[in-house]
Amino acid sequence: MTKLKGKVGLITGSGRGIGRAIALKLASEGARVVVNDLDAAPGDAVAAEIRSGGGEAIAINGSVSETGFSDRFVGAAMETFGGLDIIVNNAGYTWDSTIQKMTDEQFQAMLDVHLVAPFRLLRAVSEPIRIMAKKEAEAGREVFRKVVNISSIAGLYGNAGQASYSSAKASLVGLTRTLCKEWGRYKVNVNCVALRWRG
Ligand SMILES: NC(=O)c1ccc[n+]([C@@H]2O[C@H](COP(=O)([O-])OP(=O)(O)OC[C@H]3O[C@@H](n4cnc5c(N)ncnc54)[C@H](O)[C@@H]3O)[C@@H](O)[C@H]2O)c1
């Protein structure tokens, strides 16, 4: 299928689970994909799987919470594929405790991976997007870009044992709503998906 031919998709945490499924789906629709995972082996394996199926993919592994990660990830997309069109903030994990047992480290870790990392990635893509959107507008071309932030129903309704995770996922909704307002002018559709625990 070629619905996404010519598009470039960046998906964090795409070595396994939902991120992997998104990466494979985007590639199956013709997108060129920049895979990422904290663990290099699954990240590399997904990129290799896409290439072996005739698609185009690279893996830029490492933690989304690492200083400098976003610039490295975005820089690789621009250098290798010459653009970016779809950004999926998916990477994450849970570290649960009831609030009386939750440490500062635990709380901060969830904010770092589920909120600060998406913020940094979106900040890093903002300048390339602004430049590309300006050129496209000058050329009279209408190009829509997409951001998908993966939240959780825990962020919407709360969940016992997840004070840190639910706070971060709720804040991701706020970040999403603000970028809708900031990036409409660049024709970027910014959405958030609140997933339900799949068990
Ligand atoms: N599975 C669910 O039921 C569910 C429900 C609600 C929300 N979510 C959200 O969906 C997203 C994906 O979850 P999943 O179920 O596919 O999880 P998963 O554990 O199957 O996959 C997540 C991937 O992200 C990677 N990752 C974790 N921390 C990372 C980091 N700092 N940098 C880069 N990669 C990192 C992991 O190594 C893993 O490969 C997460 O944001 C999660 O919070 C999942």
Residues with CB under 6 A from ligand 1: 12-13, 15-19, 36-39, 42, 63-65, 90-93, 113, 150, 152, 195, 197-198
CB 4 within 8 A of CB 31: yes
Q: What pLDDT does residue 124 have? A: 98
CB 139 within 8 A of CB 80: no
Residue 37 lies in a domain: yes
State pTM to two decimals: 0.98
Residue 3 lies in a domain: no
Q: Give CA angle at 189 (43, 24), nearest 5°.
A: 25
Nearest-atom number in ligand 1 for the CA of 94 is: 43
Domain span at residue 76? 8-195
Residue numbers of the chain with a pLDDT score lower than 70: 198-199
CB 58 within 8 A of CB 80: yes
The three-class DSSP label of residue 40 is helix
Q: Per the structure, how many domains does the chain have?
A: 1
Q: What pLDDT does residue 196 have? A: 87
Residue 33 lies in a domain: yes
Ligand 1 center–CA 87 separation, angstroms: 15
Of 132, 93, 85, which is closest to residue 114 (Cα–Cα)?
A: 93
Residue 2 lies in a domain: no
CATH of the domain at 175: 3.40.50.720
Phi, psi of 197 (to 5 degrees): -55, 130
